[in-house]
Every structure is written in C-alpha cells, then in structure tokens.
Chains A and B, each alone.
Chain A
Amino acid sequence: MGNNSTRIILGLAALITLLVLLPFIFSRYYLDLSIVFLINLILAVSFRLITTTGDFSLAHVPLMGMGAYTGALMTKNLGLPFLITLPLAGLVATMVGLVMLYPLIRMKEFAFFIGSYAIGEALRLSWIRLSIFGGHRGISNIASPTISIPGLFTTDFSEVVPYYFLTLVVTVVCLLCMYLLDRSRITEIFKAIHDEPELVKSVGVNITGYRVLAFEVGTFFAGIAGVLSAHHMGHIDPHQFELTTGLYLLIWIVVGGYATFLGPIIGVTFFAIFGEWMRVFGAWMPLVYGCILVTALLFLPDGLESLPKRLSFLFKKTGAGAKS
C-alpha cells in the first residue's frame, strides 16, 4: 500500500514536471489544447469522485457551466477579482447542486442517472430563458483574469503562457485536494456505500449524507473547472454544456477506468493525445470515439488503469504455459 502510493506520487511529480516544461516545447496551438486538457482533468477527476458512491451524474457538465456563468457574470458585471470569483463560483455551483439533490438524492442507480440528466438540462435551459445569462448567445468578451496585490504586484493572464501556468497551478491544487480525500477513510465509506448500502446503513452511516458530500465536493471542483474554461474561451453559451460534453466525460471515465484516482487521469490523457491524431477523421470523429468505447467495454471493462494488472496476469499465464 505504502509502496503503491509512493509510486503514484513519483508518477505525478514526473507528470507535473513535464507540464511545467510544456510552454517551452509547444506552440501556441498546442498550449491552448493543453489548457483544455488541464480543465478536463479537473472535470473528470471530480466526476469520478462522485461515482465512488455509485452515483453517475449527467448534471456534472451543467454544474460546471453554472461555475462558468457565475465566474463570467461576477467578472463582467461586478468586476470581482479572479481569486474571489474562482472559489465563489465553486460555491455557487455547490449551492445549485444542493437544490438539485433535493429530489435527486432520493433516486438511485439508473433513476439517478436519468434524473440527473433531466435536472441538469433544466438548469441549462434556464440559461437560455433568463436574460441575465444572455440567452442562446451566452456571454462574450469575458475579461482574462488578473491577480493583483495592491502596492506589490499585478499580473495579467491574457497571454497564453501565463494563463497556462495559472490553470496548471489551480489544477494541481484541485487534484491534490481530491487526492487527499481519495486516500482518506471517507472514500472508503463512499466505496462501501456503492458495494453494500444496507450493511453500511446498519452500522450507523448516514448514507444520504455521504452521497451528498461526494456530490457536493465533486460539484465544487466542476464549478472551478467552469471558471477556468470561461476565462480561457472568453465566451460561454448554453450549447457548450450540452449532453454531448457529458457523454464525452463518460467515455473518458469508462476508457480510463474509475476504480482508482488514476483512472480518469489516464482516460483524459489518452484522449488528449489520440484526440489530436483523430482529427484526420473529421466528421467521423464521434464514430471513432464510439468504437474506442465499445472496444474498451469489451476487452478492458475496468479501463486502461487495469492494463498493467491484465498484462502481468497474461504474462504469468503464458509463462506457465511455456513451462508445461
């Protein structure tokens, strides 16, 4: 166990070093993609956090959108600084999530899945209807963030490289928080609720409370991802947070795996790398995504994260075969 976690920490350290060096290697275009990659990391890891209790939520992307809208509106209309809008948008997403949970927490499994879609969609449609959210056209010209400490310094993040580093720092902090939660006893309870809810209930665990906790923590980080995305694009509209985005999120998780913390990271990385190559398929891209999903479901049902285990098992088997 201890050995395993040192390996994870070493792996993450190597990854972070690589990410710090990226701006010196990549062109502007690839750096843009890298920013999206980092935001997707937060989104996927926070999504997986919610799934540990067995709740697969299609409201995750709309709640990310809630963070994006909150961040954009607070920047544009109130002129609040980034360091305040960032956590505040996370909190607003959490609050909206809490309202959603009022009916949703009474559902389980498939009902929860489809119910979360309906409620998420209701939230998204409200942005089209309510004028403050800018209707179909959404909100444009979202200023890039600046961080200033009066009298000391002011940093402007309008250029790609500084914004990349800002996103990187926020991503690392978010992932670190979620990693700490993941190795804590609380996640043990989350997983136990998924496996044997009646037993866990019978020993005094408030399973509704724990499901709310997982959902709300995940939603907070989705909101943060939304703010980063809003500033990166400079423009948001309701169509960015449609079901399609949620489905891609599901594909990342299924292909990468969701049993451990690393699964969604592997999934997002896989599609970030191969997604670029897959551009040659043009309009056929969704089909290729679908093929990858089906292949993963058939041959790697526990995702890419289970590949090392699978391979070592396979080698052992063929090794034993060679001997006899």
Chain B
Amino acid sequence: MSILKLKGLRKEFGGLVAVNDIDLELEKGEIRGLIGPNGSGKTTLFNLISGFLTPTRGKVIWEELDITGKPVHRIVKKGITRTFQLTRLLKNRTALENVVIGRHLHVGMGFFEQIFSAAALDEKINRIKEKALELLELIGIENIKDELVGSLPHGYQRALNIAIALATEPKLLLLDEPTTGMNPVETDKLMEKIKMLRDEQGITIFLVEHDMKAVMNNCDKITVMSFGENIAEGSPEEVSSNEEVIEAYLGR
C-alpha cells in the first residue's frame, strides 16, 4: 500500500523549474533512496513534502489525505518529519535538551497547566526526559546526553538530528544527506540504525544520499532525479545499470 503519493508536483523559482512535475509513490515500510547530481532538486522535493515550501502546482497525498501546502506543524502532526542537509541544532543546550524540544507535540499539557502546576509539570517533564534519553540510546549516543551540542563532533551532531526527528514519532522520516561528513565506519553504523528504525518501528524512510555505496547497500528502491525530473526508479541493480542515470552522472 502506498503511504505517500506525489502527483505532478512542481516548484518554480522565478523562471527556474526546480522540481518538474514529479510523480512518485512510497510504499509503507520501505527505505527509498533519492539520488541525483547537485542542484537536481532533491532538497526542494523534501521541502515540498514537509511543507517548508508550497508547490507551484501538483499534489502531495499522505495516507489518502491531501496535505499540499499545509503548514509544517500540521504535517509533522500527521507523521512526516524531515531533517536538514546542514546541521541545525540548539548549540548552547545539551543533547538531551535538544531531544526534549523535539518532544513538543507529545508534551500533553495545556497552556495554563504548563505555567501554574509546577508539581505536575515536573512529573511530566521527567517523563519527557526519560523518553528523550531512550531515543538517544536507540541511536547509540546516550553517552553525550549532558554535553553542550555546539562542542560535539560532527558525527554526533548528525546522529543527534535524527534523534530529535524521531522524538516527534514520525511514520515517514525524510533524511537529507544523513551521513554527510562521516567516515565509512560511521556511515555504516548510521545506515544500520536507519534499517533498524524501519525493521523495529516500521518507520518509512526516504533519504537523500551522495554516498553511493550506502545507498546501493541499504535502500529497497532508488529514485533518480536530474534537472528537477524523475529520470529513473527501481531496485539498486536496475538503477545502476540504467543508461540515462549513468549519463546524468557522467555526462555524455
């Protein structure tokens, strides 16, 4: 059953067509890779799905529901969370505090409750912290929970971004180049975790990635974009032997 459908999705910036009438379907529980040369519109596509940008035309259908142009917080509530290509973290706070912010939708307190009932607040805040710690453990970075994020090594920061995204309890995770700046060992470890998220929690994964080895080894299916268009789609084997894909990457 397809969980996400893109129908003729298009985004223009002035005269430039960044995403050109993309049709795409994601199956529930799959790991889908999105590859393509720089500037082919991959991040723009993520921005359109997650609501950070409004499409010029076309539709985003999520679980049979039209979510095109809905504000980001509504889309997150429905179960789609994205991460960023550039590391975005609250640098002067601890790793745990960052994940706690990610729990925003699951705080379960009204405005006045948050302000006035200190005791209830402490109990609930503790529960949120416990959950946040669990997520750090899940990603395997619980050892840095009390460290200020700004001083963490890059690999930890990337992993932390995923933990924050997980805190929203997504059904679909859009990962924008999760392994950027990681060495092969770190990359393998992270891809392992991503597979585990799918296997154990049933989270559908859609990821942009430049590390071809990581993509080929871990994705069920791959979509290739070039100049805003969906030029190929299929299993890693199919895609890597596709003439058009090779052309897009290597030129004629």
Whole-angstrom distance between the Cβ of B128 and the nearest chain A Cβ? 9
Are B90 and A203 in contact, with the CB atoms below 8 A?
Answer: no
Whole-angstrom distance between the Cβ of A154 and the nearest chain B Cβ? 32
Asked if A201 CB lies within 8 Å of chain B CBs, one says: yes
Asked if A156 CB lies within 8 Å of chain B CBs, one says: no
Interface residues of B in 83-122 (CB under 8 A from A): 83-84, 88-92, 101-102, 104-105, 107, 109, 111, 114-116, 121
* Identity of the chain B residue whose Cβ is nearest the Cβ of A208 in the assembled complex: B71
Cα separation A206 to B105 with both chains bound (whole Å):
10
Cα separation A189 to B107 with both chains bound (whole Å):
12
Asked if A27 CB lies within 8 Å of chain B CBs, one says: no
Whole-angstrom distance between the Cβ of B187 and the nearest chain A Cβ? 23
Q: Which of A192, A198, A203, A206 contacts B71 (CB 8 A)?
A: A206
Are A196 and B90 in contact, with the CB atoms below 8 A?
Answer: yes
B56-64, B160-168, B193-201, B213-221: which one contacts chain A?
B160-168
Q: How many residues of B contact A (CB 8 A)?
A: 32
* Identity of the chain B residue whose Cβ is nearest the Cβ of A203 in the assembled complex: B102
Are A203 and B84 in contact, with the CB atoms below 8 A?
Answer: no
Asked if A36 CB lies within 8 Å of chain B CBs, one says: no
Q: Which of A181, A184, A189, A198 contacts B104 (CB 8 A)?
A: A189
**Residues of chain B within 8 A of A202, CB atoms compared:** 50, 52, 72, 76, 81-84, 88, 165
Asked if B127 CB lies within 8 Å of chain A CBs, one says: no
Q: How many residues of A contact B (CB 8 A)?
A: 20
**Residues of chain A within 8 A of B154, CB atoms compared:** none
Are B73 and A199 in contact, with the CB atoms below 8 A?
Answer: no
Are B84 and A186 in contact, with the CB atoms below 8 A?
Answer: no
Cα separation A53 to B102 with both chains bound (whole Å):
17
Q: A202-B165, A206-B73 are contacts. A195–B81 as well, Cβ < 8 Å?
A: no
Cα separation A267 to B39 with both chains bound (whole Å):
50
Q: Which of B81, B109, B116 contacts A203 (CB 8 A)?
A: B81
Whole-angstrom distance between the Cβ of A322 and the nearest chain B Cβ? 29
**Residues of chain A within 8 A of B165, CB atoms compared:** 202-203
Asked if B138 CB lies within 8 Å of chain A CBs, one says: no
Cα separation A230 to B203 with both chains bound (whole Å):
59
**Residues of chain A within 8 A of B90, CB atoms compared:** 192, 195-196, 199
Q: Which of A181, A186, A204 contacts B73 (CB 8 A)?
A: A204
Are A184 and B121 in contact, with the CB atoms below 8 A?
Answer: yes
Cα separation A90 to B91 with both chains bound (whole Å):
37
B-contacting residues of A (Cβ < 8 Å)? 180-181, 184-186, 188-189, 192, 195-196, 198-207
Which 3 A-B pairs give the minimum distances between C-beta atoms?
Answer: A204-B76, A199-B88, A204-B105
Q: Provide 23 A-B residue pairs closer than 8 Å at the C-beta atoms, listed in order of the A residue.
A: A184-B114, A184-B121, A185-B125, A186-B111, A186-B114, A186-B115, A195-B92, A196-B91, A198-B84, A199-B84, A199-B164, A200-B101, A201-B72, A201-B73, A202-B52, A202-B76, A202-B81, A202-B82, A202-B83, A202-B84, A202-B165, A203-B168, A204-B72
